[in-house]
Structure 1
Amino acid sequence: MNQVWFQPALRPESGTALSPRERAIRVPGGQGCVFAVSAGDALRITDPEGLQGGLLYALAGTFAPVEPGEAPDLAALLDGIGGGAAARTALAAGGIGPSDLAGLVILDGETTAGAAWEGIAARDSLCLLAAPGAAMAPEAQNPPTELHLAIRPKASIVGQAPPPLAPPLQDLRVAAATARAYTVKAGQYIQIIDVDGRQCADFLAFDAAELAQGREFGLDATTTHTLMGTSSPKPGLHAKYFDARMVPLVEVVQDTVGRHDTFMLACSAKYYEDMGYPGHSNCTDNFNVVLAPHGIDARKGWPAINFFYNTIPGTNDRIDMDEPWSRPGDYVLLRALTDLVCATSSCADDIDPANGWCPTDIHVRVYDAACAFPHGMSHRMTPDSEPRLTRETGFHPRTAALTRKIEDYRGFWLPSSFSSAGPIEEYWACRERAVVLDLSALRKFEVIGPDAEALMQRALTRDVRKLAVGQIVYAAMCYEHGGMIDDGTLFRLGPNNFRWICGDVYCGLWLRQLAERNGLKAWVKDSTDQLHNLSVQGPRSRDILAPLLVTPPHQPSLSELKWFRFTVGRLAGVPVVVSRTGYTGELGYEVWCHPSQAVAVWDAIMEAGAPHGLTPAGLAALDMLRIEAGLVFADYEFCDQTDPFEAGIGFAVAAAKADPYIGKEALDRRRAAPHRRLVGLDIAGNEAVGHGDPVYAGRAQVGVVTSAVKSPILRKTIALARLDIAAAERGGPVEIGKLDGHQKRLAATIVPFPHYDPEKTRVRAEAAALASPPPASASDTVATAGIPA
C-alpha cells in the first residue's frame, strides 16, 4: 500500500496559503489497507482498469448505504487478502475490532475502466478498503488490480506531514527558512520529508564519536564522488556518503523523488548579496547557529546533500536549475551507519525557482534500527501518477542469496551479475550451455473482451487478425507521428483474449485510452504483479526443461513447441505458461508463473540444470548477448523520436495490413522516404565505445551509436548505430568520435546486423541439442543477412 499527498495544480504567490489537498491511497489488487476519515471528508474510489471489485468497511453510519450486496465478513476477509495482518494491527491500535465495522460493496467487479464510487463521511471512523481477488493462474486473465482512493478532507491539510512509516523516535518540524540539529544512533533511520512540495532541504552529518574528541569529520563531497563514481544518490549497496577518511556515514534507503543535487553548497550569505539581497536568511548561517552547540566551527558555505534541489547540466558548461520535482509528502529515507550529529534545513531561497518561489516546512523523523525498511526508489508512470517504490520479484529470495550486485531496473530489483561467475562467464554459459535470467520486470497486460482483437489491431503495427491461438508475435506500438511507444510480444490466448508483454508500464494506460476513444468494449488489466518470468536460454535449455514440463494432451509438449509459440502445463507441480521466446539470440524459453510459486520454479529448474552446467545470469551478460543478436532496447535503439524502421525493426510493420492502426499514415511515408537506418559497425582496435557516441563521415556527424559491446565470441568491438540514410551503405567507412568528437576518432566499418547468427538458426533449432557456437573466425560470414521477418 502506498499513500501519497497530492499537490495542488497551482502554487500561490509567496506569502499566501496553499489550497486544500487530497490524500491519495493506492490499494494493490488482492490487498486491503486501513485509513482514517473525519466527518465531512469526501471520498472517491476509482477502479482505473475495470472489472475489479471493491469493499469498504467503516463504523456503522459513516457512509450511506449503496446498492444491495452483502459484503463478506471482515474477519474472514482479512485472513485471505494481502496486508491482512497489518490491517488487524492498525485497527487494534485504534481500539477497533473487525466486528465493529460494517461492510459496503462499492464496486461489484463488473464495471468499466474508470468506474468510481463517491461518498461523504458522516462521522469520524477508521476504515478499510479492499480490492479482493485470488492469485491469477498463469493461463488465466483475471488479475486482481488496484483501486485508487482520493480523500478530500473537509479541513485543509496544508502543512501536515504524512503519516509516519513506523512509530518515530524523534518527530521534528523544520520551519520554513530555518534549520535544526539532532543526534542519531548507528542503524537508525532518518526520514526527510517535503511537507508541502517543491521545497529543498540541505542535510549535513558528522561522526558523533569524533566530535566528542574534538575532531570534525562530516560528509565530504570529493571523497563521495570519487568512491561512488556518480553524483546521483540511488538506493542500494552503493548509495553511501562518506567523510574524508572514506568512512561511510549514511546510506540512502528510500527515495520517492529521484532527482536531487548532491554536494553543491547550501545557500549562503554571499549568494544573496551577489543577487542584491544583503542580510537575506540562508541555510549556511542557519546551520552555523544550530551546529555551534555541538562544537562545530562556522563556515561561509556548507557543502551539503541538497535533497529535492533540481539542478540540470545545461549548455555551455553551466549548471541550471528549476523548481523541485518533489510533491507534498515526498521524502528521502537514510540509514545512519555510525552515531551521527545531523542538521537539516528548510531552504530559505525565495528569489528564484529553487523552492517554487515559496519556502515551506521540512519535517524530520527518526526511526528505530529494528524497523528494517526495504530499499527502493519511486517510479511514476506519468507526471500525475502516484509513486511506487522498487519491488522484489518472486525469484528475488534466490537471486539475492547469490549476489549483492542488484540494480533498480524499471521498478524491480534485478541482479546485474552473480558472485560465483561474473558477466563474461555468464555470457559464455548462455552461448555454450544454458542460463537462467530473472526478467520479471517485463510489464504484462491482459487484454480481454469482445473488442480485444480490434483494440490490438488498432494499437500494433502487426496484423493481429492473422495471429493463431497459442501463437506469439513481436510488434511495435507507435504514436500517430510514427515514433515508438514500446516494442513487445503479443500472446493470443483465445479468440478474444490477448496478453501484451512489453517494457513500459505506460502501455496499459495507452491501450485503455485507445479503447475509450474508439468505443471498444475491451478491458486492459495489469497482471505484472501476478505473472513473473524466468528466462531459460542456451543450447541446452530444451534438454533441461523438457523432462520438467508436463502438458495436457491438447497442448504441445516442450519438444513440440515451435518458435514464437507457447504452451500451458505444470513444472514441478506449479502451474506455468512456457513460451519459446527470449532476448539472447539462442535457443530458449520463458517460464511464466505466479510470484508466490517462483521459488519452487527456480529450485526445480536449477536442480534439473545442474548436470548441464546451468548458470544464473544477470543484466550485464544479457546486454552483451542482445547486442550481438541485434535485439533492440528502449531508449537506446528506439524512443518516441524514432520509428520502427529507424530502430531496425521494420520487419515488425506489416506492409499489407489493410486495417488502420495508430501511426500507419506516418509509417507509410517513412517507409517510402526513410531518413535514418540502424546499421551494424565493426570497430577497429580495442577502445571503448558507448551509447550516444557520435558517428562521423569526415567532419560531419552522420549518426550516433545506440549500443556497443566488446564481443567475446567475435573477438572484436561491435556496435549498433543509427545513421543518416545517405551514409549508411554497407562497407562504408565511418569514424566514432570520442572526447569532443574531433580530437579522437575510432575507425569503423558499416556491416549488416545481427553480428551473431544473422539467420537465427540457433533460436529456430528443432534438434534435441545444438552444436557449439560458431567460431570467432566465422564472424565475417555470420553477419551477412538482414533481420528476419
Structure 2
Amino acid sequence: MLTASEPHYHQPLLKTPFHERARAASQLDSFVAWSGYSTVDVFTSVEQEYFAIRNASSLYDLTPMVKYRIAGADALRFLNRLVTRDLSKTGPGRVAYAVWCNDEGRLIDDGTVFCIAHNEYRVCTAERQLDWLSASAIGFDVEIAEVTEEVAALAVQGPTSCALLRALGLAGVERLKPFELGQFALPGAARPAPARIEMMVSRTGFTGDLGYELWMRPADAEGVWDALMEEGRSRAIRPVGSRALNIARIEAGFLLPNLDFVSAAHTLRVGTERSPLELGLAWLVDFNKGHFTGRRALLEEQRRGPTRQLVGLDIEGNKPAHNALLYADRSGRKPVGSVTSATWSPTCKRNLALAMLDAPYIALGSTVWAEIYLNRELVWERRMARARVVERPFYAPQRRRATPPADF
C-alpha cells in the first residue's frame, strides 16, 4: 500500500500479495506490467517453466486479472443483455467463458463469468471495463463494483495439480468438473498459525490442461503459496511467468487481448475491430436467447458469411512466424492475412500460429505462405514458409476433462 511518504510516481506499478514470494523465486528479475501490477515474465527459463505446466505442476499469479462483483435483482438479466451467450444456463457453482460486443457486433472484451450464488456473479477480464459495464447497466437493478484488490488469485496448472491440491488437504477437489467451482478450506497444519484458510477453487485455466484457479483473501496469499511450494516439492512444482504461459495458451488455441484482437473500445483505425464470428467464437453467440448488445449486427454478419476469420496454422520449419504477413502463393504478391500469435510447440513438435485470414483461405486444409524474417547474427534473412490451415486447439489432452483426474 502506497503512502504519502511513498508517492505513486516512485513506484507506479502495484505489487500483488504474492510479489515478495515471486521476487524471491525469480532468478532473472524479469518483470512486466499487467493491468497496473508488476508480474513475472520469466522466473528461471521459459523451457523449464513450460514443461512444469505440461509435465508437473505450476503456479501463476492471477491477481492482476480485473475482477468485478455484479449483484442485484437484475444481475442475470443484465449479464444476459451484455454478453453474447446464454448465462441462464450457468447456475450457482458454475463458470462460463463469455464475450461482449458493441452495437456494431465488434468485440469489447472476453472474460470468465463466475456464478457465486443466485443473482451474484464475479466477472474477470484482462482489462478494466467499469465504464462499459456501468453504461450497459442503466435501467437494471444491479450493483457493479471492482474487487480486484480484494481477491488474490493463483493458477495451479498441470497434470499433477489435482493430486497436489488433494495432498494439501482440499478434500473433494477431484470431484470438480471443468468450469465448476467450490468452496474449500486449507487445513491449519499447512501454515504456521493454527487457522484455516478459506478459498474458492474453480476448475478453470489458460493452459488447456488439467488445472485449477484458487481465489482467496490477500492476507492469506503468502500462506497458500508457501503451502503449495512445500507440498509440491516432490511433484516438481515451479512458479511460471507469462512467457511460458503464452506457449501453453497458443497450443490450447486461446486468444489474448491486444495480440489476437484489440478491443473495439480502443481501436483507432477503421476495420481493425473484430467480431466473435471472425475470431472463431461463433459457439459463444446464442441468437435464440433474446436480445443482447450487437445481436442485429451479428445476425447480418452471419447472413452474409465470413470475409475473414481467425484460424490455426501449422507452418513448415521450426522458426515461429511472429507477426508474419501471409500470402496466397510463394511469390508474395497477394496478401491474404497476418499472424497474430506464434510459437514453436515443444509438446506438439510443430510450428504453430494463430492468424487472421481472408476468405476463401480460411477453409481447413487451405495453404498459404508466411513471410518470416530471421536474424542470423545481425544478418536478416527472408524466408517464405508454407502454412496449412488446421483445427484448433492444437493440443487437447484427455486429462483436462477427466473427472476425477488421474492421481499422479
Shift of 1:473: 0.7
Bigger helix share:
2
Matches of 1:448 and 1:749, distance apart in 2:
46
SS at match of 1:461: coil
Shift of 1:451: 0.9
Q: Is 1:769 the counterpart of 2:406 in the alignment?
A: yes
Is the CA contact (8 Å cut-off) linking 2:35 and 2:66 kept in structure 1? Answer: no
Matches of 1:465 and 1:729, distance apart in 2:
33
SS at match of 2:25: coil
Match of 2:246 in 1: 623
Residue deviations 1:531-568 (CA, integer Å, cap 9, x gap): 121000011100001233457xxxxx212111101001
Residue identity matched to 1:645 = L
Shift of 1:717: 1.3
| Equivalent residues in 2 for 1:190-269, closer than 5 Å | none
Match of 1:752 in 2: 391
| Equivalent residues in 2 for 1:10-159, closer than 5 Å | none
Matches of 2:122 and 2:144, distance apart in 1:
9
Residue deviations 1:713-751 (CA, integer Å, cap 9, x gap): 122311011111211122222111246xx9642221111
SS at match of 1:427: helix
SS at match of 2:357: strand
Q: Is 1:491 the counterpart of 2:78 in the alignment?
A: no
TM-score, normalisation: structure 2: 0.88
Q: Is 1:454 the counterpart of 2:77 in the alignment?
A: yes
In terms of mean alpha carbon deviation, does 647-656 or 533-542 score higher?
647-656
Gaps of at least 5 residues in structure 2 are 188-195, 265-272, 374-380
Q: Is 1:434 the counterpart of 2:65 in the alignment?
A: no
Matches of 2:16 and 2:280, distance apart in 1:
31
Matches of 1:623 and 1:399, distance apart in 2:
18
2:86 to 450, 463, 467: 463
SS at match of 2:233: helix
Matches of 1:767 and 1:520, distance apart in 2:
40
Residue identity matched to 1:466 = K
Matches of 1:688 and 1:592, distance apart in 2:
35
Matches of 2:16 and 2:313, distance apart in 1:
36
Match of 1:683 in 2: 315
Match of 1:475 in 2: 98
Residue deviations 1:227-271 (CA, integer Å, cap 9, x gap): xxxxxxxxxxxxxxxxxxxxxxxxxxx86xxxxxxxxxxxxxxxx
Gaps of at least 5 residues in structure 1 are 1-81, 91-163, 167-253, 256-372, 377-389, 552-556, 772-789
2:133 to 492, 495, 511: 511
Matches of 1:614 and 1:468, distance apart in 2:
33
1:667 to 274, 291, 298: 298
Matches of 1:435 and 1:524, distance apart in 2:
32
Q: Is 1:736 the counterpart of 2:365 in the alignment?
A: no
| Equivalent residues in 2 for 1:213-612, closer than 5 Å | 373-374=10-11, 376=12, 390-403=13-26, 404-419=29-44, 422-505=45-128, 507-516=129-138, 519-550=139-170, 557-572=172-187, 573-612=196-235
Matches of 2:6 and 2:177, distance apart in 1:
50
Residue identity matched to 1:668 = L
Q: Is 1:706 the counterpart of 2:340 in the alignment?
A: yes
Is the CA contact (8 Å cut-off) linking 1:460 and 1:476 kept in structure 2? Answer: yes
Is the CA contact (8 Å cut-off) linking 1:585 and 1:762 kept in structure 2? Answer: no
Residue identity matched to 1:682 = D
Shift of 1:399: 0.3
Is the CA contact (8 Å cut-off) linking 2:251 and 2:395 kept in structure 1? Answer: yes
Matches of 2:57 and 2:154, distance apart in 1:
13
Matches of 1:587 and 1:541, distance apart in 2:
7
Is the CA contact (8 Å cut-off) linking 2:162 and 2:407 kept in structure 1? Answer: no
Is the CA contact (8 Å cut-off) linking 1:762 and 1:770 kept in structure 2? Answer: no
Q: Give the total of aligned pairs.
A: 379
Matches of 1:570 and 1:733, distance apart in 2:
52
Residue deviations 1:618-665 (CA, integer Å, cap 9, x gap): 1010000000110111122222200112222221112432x2111111
1:652 to 284, 308, 312: 284
Matches of 2:315 and 2:115, distance apart in 1:
41
Match of 2:270 in 1: none
Matches of 1:764 and 1:549, distance apart in 2:
22
Shift of 1:686: 2.5
Is the CA contact (8 Å cut-off) linking 1:549 and 1:569 kept in structure 2? Answer: no
TM-score, normalisation: structure 1: 0.46
Is the CA contact (8 Å cut-off) linking 2:175 and 2:404 kept in structure 1? Answer: no
Match of 1:642 in 2: 274
Match of 2:353 in 1: 719
SS at match of 1:524: strand
Structure 1 segments (4+ residues) deviating >3 Å? none
Higher RCO structure (Cα 8 Å, ≥6 apart): 2
Matches of 2:251 and 2:58, distance apart in 1:
17
- Cα RMSD (Å) of the superposition? 2.1
SS at match of 1:493: strand
Matches of 2:301 and 2:186, distance apart in 1:
46
Q: Matched residues, percent identical?
A: 34
SS at match of 2:213: strand
Match of 1:262 in 2: none
SS at match of 2:400: coil
Residue identity matched to 2:358 = D
SS at match of 2:137: helix
Is the CA contact (8 Å cut-off) linking 1:549 and 1:558 kept in structure 2? Answer: no
Larger radius of gyration: 1
Residue deviations 1:317-371 (CA, integer Å, cap 9, x gap): xxxxxxxxxxxxxxxxxxxxxxxxxxxxxxxxxxxxxxxxxxxxxxxxxxxxxxx
Is the CA contact (8 Å cut-off) linking 1:704 and 1:721 kept in structure 2? Answer: yes
